Amino acid sequence: MVPGGSESLAPCRRLELNRWGRFDAMTECASRCTPKRPRAPLPTAPHRLHRSPVSPATTGETPGRSGARAAGSQRPSTCVPETAGGARLASSIMSPRNPETNAEMRERSRAKLVEAADDLFSERGYDATSLSAITAEAGLSHGLARYYFDAKADVLAEVIGPRLDASLDVIDGAPGDPDVALATIIDVTLEAAESAPAPQALVLASMLQPGPHDVFAEFEQQHESRLRAAEDRLRSIFAARGASDPVAEEILFRSTLEGIVFKICVYPETFPVAAARRRLHERYGLPDPEPWPGETPDAQTPTPRLRATPRHQP
């Protein structure tokens, strides 16, 4: 419904971005906006991978990717449908808005895009999803999407960055006792994979695929000190447990855990998480763990055959 009346919409006319940065009006506008004239490149901002998927916008920071926004990129102007009551509508939209409200609106649009991308990447795969499809799924205009993200790779960084971050949090936040720490790292990792295999599959596939691999490599570069701390934490856990070669042990442990996560993603229907987890605890000489959700402690391990199930994606 058109604010200010039930007048029919005509193609919109463009307003310059005002000092309150009110480009969010564009999200309400289904018209075919095109830039009026070239404008100066946007100021740059640190890469979004440093932040949570839906980063706090109260800073009022201008979105953009690590200084990489191409020269000539344009800030979308606000646009207002030209209605019979156009003046009234424009006046209503141009009235000053609280900066926090602006920031919230920006953040909402950005979050919508990331959420839509997350869904589509998991459903179709990264390369099979276009930036246009993401903006359409989010119900936003393509221009606004380009305001937030220069390229699809930037959206992927926002989707997988927080998950990679979370996997480091698991190691950072594990309890002090080496045995308890190891058991916690195993259980939290397997629980995350079992409860949401599709997002996890997207992360693993991104690490392997040529284009997305660079997004992953960029994450690692930006988080060097955290990665180092996580590795050292694991090594110290194995050293405290008497490993003769804590470095080799750390690498083999992470490979094993990632291998199980990989198989959960490929075989979400048939992989016996509870049995694999129990055997893993046993292998590392950990105390007998509490039963896994749904696990019957005295039951014999069934004879599962890992088999992939066609997903018949579009």
Which of 313, 168, 178, 187 minimizes the C-alpha distance to 242?
Answer: 178
C-alpha distances (whole Å) from 298 to each of 157, 174, 273, 291, 302 are: 44, 29, 16, 10, 12
Per CB under 8 A, 239 contacts a copy of itself: no
User: Which of 32, 36, 50, 228 touches a copy of itself (CB under 8 A)?
Assistant: 228
Is 30 a binder of a copy of itself (CB under 8 A)?
no
Answer yes or no whether residue 127 interacts with a copy of itself by CB under 8 A. yes
- Would you give the binding string for a copy of itself spanning residues 243-282, x where CB under 8 A is met? --x-xxx-xx-xxxxxxx-xx-xx----xx--xx-xxx--
In one letter, which amino acid is 91? S
- Other CB atoms within a 10 A radius of the CB of residue 178 amount to 17
Q: Measured between alpha carbons, how far is residue 290 from residues 190, 192, 293, 297 in Å?
A: 14, 17, 9, 9
Q: Is 109 in the site for a copy of itself (CB under 8 A)?
A: no
Distance between CA 148 and CA 105 in Å, rounded? Answer: 13
CA pair distance 25, 149, nearest whole angstrom: 18
Structure tokens, 156: 């992927």
Helix axes of 246-266 and 273-283: crossing angle, nearest 10 degrees: 170
Region from 89-97, 155-163, 241-249, 289-297 binding a copy of itself, contact rule CB under 8 A: 241-249
Based on the shown chain and the rule CB under 8 A, indicate whether residue 299 belongs to the binding site for a copy of itself. no
Which among 16-24, 42-50, 70-78, 295-303 is the span making contact with a copy of itself, rule CB under 8 A? 295-303
CB of 299 to a copy of itself, least distance (A): 12
Q: Does 303 bind a copy of itself (CB under 8 A)?
A: yes
Give, rounded to a whole angstrom, the gap between the first and last alpha carbons of the chain.
34
61 binds a copy of itself (CB under 8 A): no
Residues lying near a copy of itself in the complex (CB under 8 A) are found at 122-128, 201, 204-205, 207-214, 216-218, 220, 227-228, 231, 245, 247-249, 251-252, 254-260, 262-263, 265-266, 271-272, 275-276, 278-280, 283, 301-313
